[in-house]
Chains A and B, each alone.
Chain A
Amino acid sequence: MCAVLAAEVAGAVLAQYWPILLFMAVAAGLGMALLTIGLVVAPRRPAAQKLSPYECGFEAFEDARMKFDVRYYLIAILFIIFDLEIAFLFPWAVVFDRIGLVALIEMVLFIALLVVGFIYIWKKGALEWE
């Protein structure tokens, strides 16, 4: 009895995602169909000149895969950290009215700890691009 009810409830939860599954199927199908049509229908006459690398009228000086500056990495990792902070805010916002003032205090503490890190970043000048 309990198992049957659980299965029904699970089906009800997953049924909400049915349109998303359909959407994914249509998106994947459309993408593959367009690529396939292009591959089949479009004329392809490759030539050495057409396929050669081209950069503003002269031969390319270097490989396109060059070294990136490490500061892109810094920006990305700071983005991930604050992204995680925002991810913690979503369940908090959902249950905020149920827990009340305690929830507000604990989230203020959480964000205050991260603001310490943010002030550190700011004062160190890590956000300045130069």
Chain B
Amino acid sequence: MTIQLLAFYFFAFFAVLGALLVITLRNPVHAVLSLVLTFFSVACIWMLMQAEFLALVLIVVYVGAVMVLFLFVVMMLDIKVAAAREGFIRHLPVGIGVALIMLAEMVTLIGLRAMQVAPPPNPAAMHGESNVAWIGTALYTQYLLPFEVAAMILTVGIVAAVALTLRHRVGVRHQNASQQVAAVARDRVRLVSMPAERGDPGAQP
């Protein structure tokens, strides 16, 4: 238990440190990398809470894919390092206000009493099942409709991303593989039969 508690404080410290670095670092790329540190630490905390599947998905999806997207966005926006720094103090009260509102929302959602009583035992482990199997059983029997709605939302996301960002350039030369394969020698080379000519024997080629 003590090791769990130590590990929790260790990962929680790095989660908070990473989050602080995200808003204080000058370089936006470094801020994105600190956000990776935060996500990774939070994934470790979730692992300590035995939410194995969610922790691994957080690493695979957020650290692996979403942060790459963030890096592209940072690169695309072409933020100058000094310009990003300018409004820090001016926007800080707004940021603190938003953070306080979010904190109030979370406290009302979870409830202060939930922190005082002992958490309920992990149902999956009590039944001798893995966390993934427990989630799978619930997701594919009880929550079938939300699961299919998730597919709809992902499809809408695909259409929106393509519609927003796809630009076709004109005048680009393409390589048409099927046309290349379908080419025959007859269309490309014309073989001509002609009598041999006698050149000047003294001329060098």
Contact = CB atoms under 8 A, between A and B. Distances in A.
Contacts of A72: 72, 76
Contacts of B78: 65-67
Contact of B140 (A17, A68, A103): A103
Most chain A C-beta atoms within 10 Å of own C-beta, residue among B52, B136, B152: B136
B151 A110 contact: yes
Interface residues of B, number: 57
Interface string A1-36: 011011101111110010001000000000000000
B148 A83 contact: no
Nearest to B53: A91
B64 A83 contact: yes
A76 B69 contact: yes
B147 A110 contact: yes
B133 A73 contact: no
B94 interface: no
Given A70-B76, A73-B72, A95-B136, A90 B159 contact: no
Interface in A53-112: 65-68, 70-74, 76-81, 83-85, 87-88, 90-92, 94-95, 98-99, 102-103, 106-107, 109-111
Nearest to B139: A91
Interface in B100-151: 118, 121-122, 125-126, 130-133, 135-137, 139-141, 144, 147-148, 150-151
B7 A80 contact: no
B98 interface: no
Interface of B: 1, 4, 7, 29, 47-48, 50, 52-53, 57, 60-61, 64-66, 68-69, 72-73, 75-76, 78, 118, 121-122, 125-126, 130-133, 135-137, 139-141, 144, 147-148, 150-152, 154-155, 157-159, 161-162, 165-169, 172, 174
